Amino acid sequence: MDKYDKLFKIVIIGEAGVGKTNLLLRYTKGEFNENSRSTIGVGFGYKTLNINNQIIRLQIWDTAGQERFRATPSAYYRGSHAALIVFDVCDKKSFIKLTSENGWFQDLNKYTSLNSTKILIGNKIDNAAAREVTTTEAKAFAETNGMKYYETSAKVDLGITNMFEELANIILNESQKQVETNNDTIIKSSTNKSKDLPPPLNLTYTEPPPTKCCK
C-alpha cells in the first residue's frame, strides 16, 4: 500500500440512479459506465493527492440508494470526514428525497459528526434540456444548511476533479484547526492545573546549638 500522511474518509449518498457510482469511477479511475447498475450495499475507491507537500489519501465510499438498503449506509457514515449528497438535476424527485423530512440529509445529520464537511452535488448537468432542478433552487438549499454546492457531470467529466480537490483542501484545513484547538486546550489545562497548586513552602533550617556532655 502507498504511504500517506493523512487518510480522509468520504461517503457519497443519494437516491439510486443519480450517478454516485460514476462520480466515483470518473474521479478514481477516469472511467464512465453508461450501463452502470445500482450499487448493492457499498462500493469503494480511493485517490491519493499531494497537498502542500503532504500525501493525502481520500477513501471514498459509494453507498446504495435503494430504499431497502437505506439502513446500510448509516454504519459507514460514522467516522467520515465528509459527505457528498448527490441528486440528479434532471430528476426533481431525487432532489426532494434529499431535502424532505426523513430524507438523506436528515440521515446524514443523525449519523455523522458535527465536524464532518457536507457538500451538495447536482449531477448530470450535461443534459441541460431535461433539467428539472435549477441552480438557484439547489444553492438556496445548500446555503440554508451550511453547505457548498457543486454541479458535475460524470459523463463528460465536468467539475468532478475540481470539487474533490477543493473538498480535500477543506478537510485538511479543518483537521489542522482541530489539532491546533486540541493543543491549545491541553496547554490551557496544564496552565490552570499549575495555578491550582499551593505555593511552595519557604523552609529554613537552623542548626541546633552544640550540647555539653561533660563538666
Q: What would the pLDDT profile of 56-83 be if each residue is shown by its tens digit?
A: 999 999 876 545 445 555 677 778 899 9
pTM of the model: 0.79
Q: What distance in Å separates the CA atoms of residue 24 and residue 33, rounded to the nearest whole number?
A: 11
Q: What distance in Å separates the CA atoms of residue 41 and residue 39, rounded to the nearest whole number?
A: 6
Q: Which residue has the cell 552544640?
A: 210
E-strand stretches of the chain: 6-13, 42-51, 54-63, 82-88, 117-123, 148-151
Q: What distance in Å separates the CA atoms of residue 26 and residue 123, rounded to the nearest whole number?
A: 13
Segments forming the whole domain that contains residue 110: 6-175
Asked, for residue 95, whether it belongs to a domain, the answer is: yes
pLDDT for the residue 132: 98
Asked, for residue 189, whether it belongs to a domain, the answer is: no
Asked, for residue 43, whether it belongs to a domain, the answer is: yes
Instruction: Tell me the percentage of the chain whose pLDDT exceeds 90.
Output: 53
Asked, for residue 187, whether it belongs to a domain, the answer is: no
* Backbone CA torsion sign across 68, 69, 70, 71: positive
When the pLDDT of each residue in the chain is averaged and rounded to a whole number, the result is 83
User: Considering its fold, how many domains does the chain have in total?
Assistant: 1
Asked, for residue 208, whether it belongs to a domain, the answer is: no
Asked, for residue 214, whether it belongs to a domain, the answer is: no
pLDDT for the residue 111: 75
Q: What distance in Å separates the CA atoms of residue 131 and residue 109, rounded to the nearest whole number?
A: 28
- pLDDT tens figures, 69-119: 455 556 777 788 999 999 999 999 999 988 887 778 887 777 777 678 999
- pLDDT tens figures, 148-158: 999 999 999 99
- pLDDT tens figures, 12-33: 988 889 999 999 999 999 999 8
What CATH code is carried by the domain that includes residue 146? 3.40.50.300
Asked, for residue 207, whether it belongs to a domain, the answer is: no
Q: Return the C-alpha cell found at 51.
A: 497537498
Asked, for residue 146, whether it belongs to a domain, the answer is: yes
The region, left, alpha or beta by phi > 0 then psi within -120 to 50, assigned to residue 157 is: left
